[in-house]
Structure 1
Amino acid sequence: MTKQAAGPRTGPGPAPGQVTRPVKRRSAYPYALYLPAAVVYLVIFLVPTVMAFYFSLTRWTLFDSTFVGLDNFRDFLSEQNLRIGFANTLIYAVLTSGLKVVLGLLLGVLLTSRLRLRGFLRSVVFFPVLVSTVAVGITFSVLLKPDTGLVNQALALVGIDGGDWLGDANTALLSVALVDVWKGVGLATVIYIAGIMSIPQEYYQAVMVDGGGAWHRFRHITLPLSWPATYSVIILSFIGGLRSFDLIWTMTRGGPGFTSDTIASIIYKQYQAGFFGLSTAGNVILFIVVTVIAVPLNYYLGKRQVAA
């Protein structure tokens, strides 16, 4: 008697001899942990952003608002000193971020070397980051005074006649930018220290075996492999430079004249004058400018990071 071959399985059940596993239902518990952060993000960022876009289309006070369409944007873009503010904002962002990258990298290399006081020096470099920006601005405003400032008195000891650093249109923005670098380079240094210390020591040993010196180790190992740290410093410092306000306002208030004005200081002056809708439109424009610059920059640097 011949045994018939089993036909193809047509039913939805398991095949003979197949062990079935119970289907695990995804628990909602892990997703519930996102809820506090989502609420904070909604209240702190999304709601104010949507409200800002709405109020930028109105003339508003604390008690009422009148819809005016795009008039605020047209009036803000017609400001006579806005062109200077745009140029100053870009110069300030490029200068401060570039110097933080260069100085942060050099200090990171120095403070990861075999120095006896490297722990103390790390604290000294990072200390300005902990100080209030307003306090830093007030302090350097006193130090940079043309007659009684400590900077000009120190320069006079070596025969250099210091100028009016914050009162001269040619040096005001540069002076504030250098103070910004002094205050922020500590954070860049810490990021570079973390990036350099994560590089395996075997790479450096291989270069030493091949007869390479300190420059070869820096050029072929430290510089390319610390690119993730460079990427972070560029993004953070460049966006911070585009949005910078407090240090500029504390030290120069956009002066002399409008020569050190940035977009943020122009917006604040509109707030001071009571043009709330106009200044809100300026905030929206600044948001768009930062986004238009930062998103492509982040994409480009991210591609380089992956390639590296």
Structure 2
Amino acid sequence: MLTKKSGVYSLTLLLPAAAIYGILFIYPTLMSFFFSFTRWNLTEWTWIGFDNFRMFFEERALMIGFRNTFIFAFVTAGLKVVIGLLLAVLLTSQLRTKDFVRSAVFFPTLVSTIAVGIAFSVLMHPSQGLINQTLALVGINGPDWLGNPSYALLSVALVDVWKGVGIATVIFIAGMMSIPKDYYEAIQIDGGNKMDAFKHITLPLSRPATNAVIILALIGGLRTFDLVWAMTGGGPGFSSDLIASIIYKQYQAGFYGLSTAGNVILFLLVAIVVFPLYRLITRKEVDL
């Protein structure tokens, strides 16, 4: 039975964590909302109301940024779910080299995003890049991956999938390893094959892992900045600009209040997309 004394003791233990959370998250969030209504620099600020939001939505590249952000987020999230699921099925099988493959799949996650962006910028060079040189050996004339507006955003998205699919795979592996082996033995006794086991056991019972991958990948895609900036800088033109890169360009130009308003808009966008989606996809989770 909890006593008043034990309740106070528990609350005391929570205070340090609550203080750190408040200082590092709550306070900066509230100040961001406040400064989004101001014109400010490092020394002073002036209240201007909703002018920053109005100017941000008048930004001519914003609609392109919104479109690119949603395309990037949904393409990368979808590919991470599909590829991560297939890799997890492979790496929970009796494959002899699965430990090596697991390490190889997870390794890109450990590498700096900026380093990955720079490396693939070199690899995707239209004439001197290793990718196009390899394609030329088999008679294929590779495109200008990052210089062609039709390919730039998709090229960055594919690199993001290569870098982030390791996390998705690990989550799927954890979900699959938690499924009791008895279920697979039962379906085998009933005459089911591996496809039946995947369809009727692995897929439905991995739903919590699938939901986690979808949410994490979607949040990451909506907030992506560093990989795009390292590979294309939002170009050519505005063809690979995302909302986050547009915000950064406003910071570079010295429009701190305007860019802060953009961050608030991005925060609200992520919340509006993710929270309803989370409630929708977690309704049908299967409990073991």
C-alpha distance in structure 1 between counterparts of 2:120 and 2:252, whole Å:
24
1:305 deviation in Å? 1.8
C-alpha distance in structure 2 between counterparts of 1:306 and 1:280, whole Å:
41
Match status 1:257 vs 2:237: yes
Q: How does 1:207-218 map to 2 (within 5 A)?
A: 207-218=187-198
Name 1:222's counterpart in structure 2: 202
C-alpha distance in structure 2 between counterparts of 1:166 and 1:23, whole Å:
62
Name 2:185's counterpart in structure 1: 205
Name 2:70's counterpart in structure 1: 90
| From 166, 173, 191, the counterpart of 1:186 | 166
Runs of 4+ with >3 A deviation: 22-26
Name 1:10's counterpart in structure 2: none
C-alpha distance in structure 1 between counterparts of 2:197 and 2:128, whole Å:
46
Q: How does 1:87-236 map to 2 (within 5 A)?
A: 87-236=67-216
C-alpha distance in structure 2 between counterparts of 1:54 and 1:288, whole Å:
15
Question: Any conservation in 1 of the 2:77–2:221 contact (CA below 8 Å)?
Answer: yes
Per-residue CA shift, 1:265-286, capped at 9, x if unaligned? 0000000000000000000111
Q: Secondary structure at the match of 2:60?
A: coil
Question: Any conservation in 1 of the 2:124–2:132 contact (CA below 8 Å)?
Answer: yes
Q: Secondary structure at the match of 2:282?
A: helix
C-alpha distance in structure 1 between counterparts of 2:265 and 2:55, whole Å:
12
Question: Any conservation in 1 of the 2:205–2:287 contact (CA below 8 Å)?
Answer: no
Question: Any conservation in 1 of the 2:81–2:168 contact (CA below 8 Å)?
Answer: yes
Letter in 1 for 2:118: I
1:167 deviation in Å? 0.3
Q: Secondary structure at the match of 1:279?
A: helix
Q: CA RMSD in A?
A: 1.4
Name 1:237's counterpart in structure 2: 217
Letter in 2 for 1:165: W
C-alpha distance in structure 1 between counterparts of 2:2 and 2:123, whole Å:
71
Instruction: Tell me the TM-score normalized by structure 2.
Output: 0.97
1:41 deviation in Å? 1.1
- Which structure features the higher share of helix residues? 2
| From 283, 287, 295, the counterpart of 2:267 | 287
C-alpha distance in structure 2 between counterparts of 1:92 and 1:284, whole Å:
20
Name 1:16's counterpart in structure 2: none
Per-residue CA shift, 1:239-278, capped at 9, x if unaligned? 1100000000100000000011010000000000000000
Aligned residues: 287
Name 1:61's counterpart in structure 2: 41
Computing the radius of gyration from Cα coordinates, the structure with the larger value is 1
Letter in 2 for 1:25: K
C-alpha distance in structure 2 between counterparts of 1:307 and 1:285, whole Å:
36
C-alpha distance in structure 2 between counterparts of 1:254 and 1:96, whole Å:
17
Unmatched 5+ stretches in structure 1: 1-21
Most deviating of 127-136 and 26-35: 26-35
Unmatched 5+ stretches in structure 2: none
Instruction: Tell me the TM-score normalized by structure 1.
Output: 0.91
1:36 deviation in Å? 2.3
Q: Secondary structure at the match of 1:66?
A: strand
C-alpha distance in structure 1 between counterparts of 2:77 and 2:12, whole Å:
39
Q: Secondary structure at the match of 1:59?
A: strand
Letter in 2 for 1:197: M
Per-residue CA shift, 1:144-182, capped at 9, x if unaligned? 000100000010111110010000000000000000000
